[in-house]
Amino acid sequence: MSCFFCKGDIKDGITNHVVNIKSSVIIVKNVPCTECSQCGLSFYDDDVMGKLETIVNDMRKDVTEIAVVQYSSKAA
């Protein structure tokens, strides 16, 4: 498989997902992904994306300025 952006090789990896919501920032650490070894672009499969959406929606209710959460502790 190759990156649709730069045509580099795609490999399994781990990344941090950052979401800016108004004046708040939510950081989800250690998210499983596939990433391009050349340009670094990250891709999430449908299952991970669904869990990220749930995590961010849950966190946005409680966060006032910044929140950092581990993917594995919230995705279960």
What is the three-class DSSP state of 53?
helix
- Is the separation of the CB atoms in 63 and 22 below 8 Å? no
Indicate the SS3 state at residue 73: helix
What is the pTM assigned to this prediction? 0.84
**pLDDT (tens digit per residue) in 39-65:** 999 999 999 999 999 999 998 887 778
Return the CA Rg of the chain: 14
CB atoms under 10 Å from CB of 53, counted, come to 11
Q: Taking residues 9-20, what's their average pLDDT?
A: 96
- Is the CA virtual torsion 21, 52, 32, 36 positive or negative? negative
Whether the pLDDT of residue 75 is over 80: the answer is no
What is the pLDDT, as a whole number, of residue 76?
65
What pLDDT score does 43 carry?
94
